[in-house]
Amino acid sequence: MRTMTITLLGLVLSYGAIVGLAFAFQDQLLFQPSSRLLATPDDAGMPYETVHLDTEDGETLHGWWIPAPDVSRGTLLFFH
């Protein structure tokens, strides 16, 4: 009985440690931003223009202007 209790306690503690580490490092595990571009709209054959937007707090946002082939359809602004 004692061996079973020690084994069960070891499993519970190991599981708790794994869950705790996953919680502590969830940002690094789920979201890994890259500072270099992996693809551009040109790779998909779409014409585009590079745009930069300066924010009030001094940050610069980088984006692309991709004109619609049919102007009557409007403009879509997409943030990711």
DSSP string, 12-56: HHHHHHHHHHHHHTHHHHH----SS-S--GGGGT---EEEEEE-T
Task: Write down the pTM of the prediction.
Answer: 0.49
pLDDT above 80 for 8: yes
Per-residue model confidence (pLDDT) at position 80: 64
pLDDT above 90 for 23: yes
More confident call, 34 vs 44: 44
User: What are the residue boundaries of the structural domains of the chain, listed by start?
Assistant: 2-73
CB contact set of 65 (below 8 Å; sequence gap of 6+): 48, 49, 50, 51
